[in-house]
Every structure is written in structure tokens, then in C-alpha cells.
Structure 1
């Protein structure tokens, strides 16, 4: 009966409307599931920070957005030095207002990359968290995107070489490898804990392969890669190159951590 009803609807005058409604509901369900997973990753990131940060730990927030993680860095490491990077002018102005009273916070209104200079940046006005250096497919087909020009810097050129670095958060909508390439000297010297997003729908628009990220972090910088939930539960296991690539291609996880 149910199958016959579906066939009748599909062949009737309301068929096109029903298909559009079904597509819209599926997108809403997908967004809700994605939002739940993002909340889980945020909670896991906070749990990692609580475990590894001391009162005087030094941190970097790449893709600071509205500053929620920077606030936690300040709360958990009030005597540390903290560097935050946010290229969207409106968000950067908000960060300046919020964190102006903290002398140990250094804000930078730029995007981090592998070269210093300037670049065209895709400002997703309708959903700023999706903004990045490359335009990509978004969850909604009618997102409003404006192109702006932003300054780019290398982390190696900004963070003092003699300052120990303990924690780095990277959320840059696909440009992770470019950020890491501009930070190799810093990551290799200090081997901080790094929490980063890396998944399909973002990194693939930069021509990035997950093996390249694994090779840089594990091979060049001496870090081990983990699924955060596994590390928090029992310290591992570390992801080898093949396992990390499989995580990326399957979409099972898209937030990871690297640690000594």
C-alpha cells in the first residue's frame, strides 16, 4: 500500500512539489546531523584542551571566527600567550572589541597560508563559518558569497621562534595543508598538540590529498595523528597514513588531532 501510494504521488500533479519537499527535508536532516557532529567535535576539542593546557601554555587559534575557542584558551591558560587569526573584517573587529583588555592576546586580521602576500577570499555572507580561500559546494545552494581580498601570512613568520608553543587549533574550511606548510618550522621545533578539521567538501577543493597532510605532520614535524575520541578514551591508536586517508575518504571523521 505504501509503495502504491508513493507511485501515485510521483506520477500525480503534486509529484514535482513532493520531490522538492523531500529534498528540502533531507537537506535539513543532513544539516541537523552535521550540527550534532560539529558540537561533538567542539566538546572533544575542549576536552583535549583541558587535558593538555597548563596555566602558562601558549596557543594559536587559526580561524578564530567569533572567539569561542580563544575564550577557552584564556580560561585554561591565563598566563600564556595566545595568537589568533581571523581574515573576515567584521569578525576581526568583533574580536578586537572582545579581547582588547587581554595583553597576552595578539590578534591578526589575516588568513594563514604557505606564502605571505594577499589572496582572494570567499566571504559566505549568509553563513560566515563556511568562508575560505576557495569557493566550494555549500550545504545550501543559495548561500550568498562575496569575494574580498585579504592579507596572508605564514605562521612561521608571526610566532616568535623562541616561544614554546603548546596547542594549535586550525579550522580553515579546507586550507589546512597550506596553513601547515607555512608552519613547518614552528611545528617541528615545538611539536604542539594540533586539533584540525580535514574532510571532503573542503580540502578537496584545494587539490589536497590526505596523505600529504599525514606526510607533513608525521614525517616532517614528528607528530602522530589521532581521532580525538580515541585519544581521549585511551590514548590512541595513532593513525597510520593508510588509516588517515581512509578516514578522509569515508567521511567517518573530519576532525583530528596531532600530538607528539
Structure 2
């Protein structure tokens, strides 16, 4: 099947995000049927409804802990939480997306069940400039990725970045977590009383889902001790193709740590 021309893809993205602005503004939440069950969302589309990574995560026990790196507006976090006792810790550095995740979670009665952290994850703790794109899903720590498909950078925000190894209980590093940065990141929350400070400890994960627009390897490197100690299921959306440097480096890193990757298109389901 031929790929659509670039101009048509750009038009599709532009239409989708303008429609999303409208549905959030009007408060129109519609049912989204997914492989993990049905939930309601203010998003106009359902791009992860048949996502193989979501299906793999939903096969975890109902009391599993899932760390969601790059949670966006909750397309994985919310259906995984609905009707279960799963602990979902969602990391999202894009302020607009985090606001929308909070609204979607509240619409499903999950405001106190999804642990929202307004921060990025990586292999060093500190802060980085984050490029918020006019196509919110393209927002990234890399300017080029934020301007794909005719998008432009709408704002540049300095956001806190943590290593998972500094947060997961039992593997926390000796360095103190920067609570000032954590508190600042939570200050703009829709309802700050429902948002956990980003530097608070998180439970050992049964799974880590990663969708971070090319930043995948940095997230995994920052979780190396956690991965070695707990051997969680890894579901990684890979922003690259077999044969390019990024995908090859990611495959090598996983193999060196005893993980086999079941590649389902750009979604890799990795078990150790």
C-alpha cells in the first residue's frame, strides 16, 4: 500500500489537532473502544485502540504497577486503569497534554487513581528545554521532531527530567531528588491537590511503557538498575526503523540486558 503524500499527512495532522482543540473546548467526551476495554475521552480520535503494546500491558495482573513514560493524554494509562486496581504512574512533560490527561482521567473517575507526574524521564537528572509543538503528539526534547509534518514550535519550556532509578523504591540513588523542581512542575496542574510531586518515590514496576519521540534509549538507560532488579515488561514505541542508528542502538541495548524484542511495527514488546 502506498504511503499518502506528505501534504496529505500534514493536512490530516492539522485537522486532527484543530478538532481536538474544539472537542476539549466544548467538553465533548466520546467512548473509545480499545483492546484493554472502553473508556471516555475528549480526544476526537482513537489512535491506540488496537495497539499491540496496549494489549500486552492489559494482560498484566489487575494489581500490576505500570510506569507510563510519555503518557500524552492517557490513551494507555486510562484504559489500563479502568475497572482494575492497577497502579499507573504517568510521566508527561508537555503541560498541555498533562492538563488533558488530567481531564480525561477525571471524566473516567480516575483522578485519584492515575499518578500524574509533570516531568520527563531520561538518563540524567536535571532539566531540559522541551519543544511544545502545535501538533501536541510531536512535542519533544528535540526541536526537529517537534516540527515534523508542517508543525511549528509553539513554546519552549524548561522541564524537570528524572531518572527512573532515582525514583523507584529500593533502587533510589544516593543523590537527593530536586524537590524544588518537582514542586514547580506540579504548580500548573489542573487540580494540584490530585497531582503527586514528581520526585516522590514510585513502586517497583511490573511494566514500563515508553513513547517519547526519539528519547527512548535515554529513558531506558536511566532505568537500568530498575530493569536489572525487577525485569519489567517493556513496551517501547520506537521512533526509527530497522537499520538506522537509533533503532539499532536500542536493539543492541536490550539484547545486552537479556531482553527479546517482539517487533510489531513501531511498537516493540520486550521481555527479559
TM interval, short-chain normalised: 0.5 to 0.7
Partner of 1:258: 270
SS in 1 for 2:63: coil
Matched, 1:59 2:95: no
Cα distance in 1 between the residues matched to 2:50 and 2:150: 26
1:217 aligned to 254, 259, 266, which one?
254
Structure 1 residues 69 and 128: CA distance shift in structure 2, 3 A: same
Kindly report which structure 2 residues correspond to 1:227-238, keeping only aligned pairs within 5 A, or say none.
227-228=263-264
Partner of 2:234: 194
SS in 1 for 2:150: coil
Cα distance in 2 between the residues matched to 1:32 and 1:195: 30
Cα distance in 2 between the residues matched to 1:151 and 1:42: 32
Partner of 2:100: 94
Q: How many equivalent residue pairs?
A: 201
CA contact (8 A) 1:199 1:255 kept: no
CA contact (8 A) 1:64 1:84 kept: yes
- Whose Rg is larger? 1
Kindly state the Cα deviation for residue 135 of structure 1 after the two structures are TM-superposed: 1.3
Partner of 1:153: 162
Structure 1 residues 72 and 45: CA distance shift in structure 2, 3 A: same
Partner of 1:3: none
Provide structure 2 residue ranges, at least 5 long, that are not aligned to the other structure: 17-45, 172-202
Write out per-residue CA displacement over residues 22-43 of structure 1, whole angstroms, 9 at most, x where no aligned residue: xxx72245569999xx947852
Cα distance in 2 between the residues matched to 1:41 and 1:75: 14
TM-score computed with the length of structure 2 as normaliser: 0.64
CA contact (8 A) 1:123 1:147 kept: yes
1:168 aligned to 203, 208, 215, which one?
208
Specify which structure has the higher proportion of helix. Answer: 1
TM-score computed with the length of structure 1 as normaliser: 0.67
Write out per-residue CA displacement over residues 65-88 of structure 1, whole angstroms, 9 at most, x where no aligned residue: 111211122026x22322110111
Specify which structure has the higher proportion of strand. Answer: 2
Matched, 1:133 2:170: no
CA contact (8 A) 2:9 2:149 kept: no
